Chains A and B, each alone.
Chain A
């Protein structure tokens, strides 16, 4: 970080000022002119937190995508279908057993197994043919979307969180002051906070796994030069299989999270595929910190967009993408 500040002093200063303004906007009691200008503080805080938690969800989906891409150069356009499959599996499992928490390992395992099947049956057969692999994943996503529509119909499913997670969380953030002088504190759904924390934990865990363990070393070496890695005797096919299963499983978990936040329905696969595409394009292909930054940016842009400029909320995210592409084609955190 000090390195960045030394190399780009002006940018660092701009970012510091923005962060300071943001912190002030979160904690301070808003003066009336600011309320007149952009509306209530409660709306702003809700948009901010919704954006951050949505970013957490996007990170879960996109990190698997970017991990698979980084190692295998395989753009898995069926990633959205894996997400949706995870959502359905999680829903069925939660309904069956009645335990919300069990939906996560179930979705992870089922979708990871499916991922292993994909890797063994499809991708290994056409290694090195990026374009053909991509086309195949498009075909798979078309077929999977229709099979899932066949199996579960066009209804919306909602995975209900357990009662100990359902209430609101009293935060220490002040939204406004009543006439009597009492402070009004912000209430925020507990489940979103918990899930966001879980996403952060997974993210940090992945970072540690990649940077501090032997397996991570293998994976990073594979990202840099997989021919050289396999020449040193590492069983690269096993690494591929593991990473693919893990990335797919993450998408499955994200499906359960998405089903709890919002709902599981046909069409969500495309939505989350696009979201993860934009996230990894903005953040930089194959980079986990990039996926985190991109997910945060896109989640915030979507939520603030839908609050402050409702008509063009979606377009805002694509404008960010176009801007990044125009000035930094490799993504914010990508290596050129």
Chain B
């Protein structure tokens, strides 16, 4: 009977790890779900004189994509965004995070620019307000400018087809 105690403890720990270790600690829930995009005032990447605010997300279903020329995974995501942009399914807005204008422009020169507009955020002003912890990270907003979905990591064709696009279509119909 006594010999069973360590075995029982072992099984208990095994169970705890089996559940605990499958949870990805990098996946943080977004606190901003169903809340409006936080207020910000930043300039456009290409046009320094153009001021962008949270108002830009009103009236259209948008995909906000946080990227940077320094971000390795963004290179993987980039062709997918180009494809999305070509099909024009969604108002694709970039947030150029912790970057310099020349570097970002050179990066977009190389692979093409999928974004309709790019918010230049070199000091993490908007990134922190959005609760961003790494790039790439993406948000989908509805027509009233509320955040409805957060995707952490690369948007793969599968993620786009199976999760994001259906959501965009339902939000468009709202």
Chains A and B come from one and the same complex = no
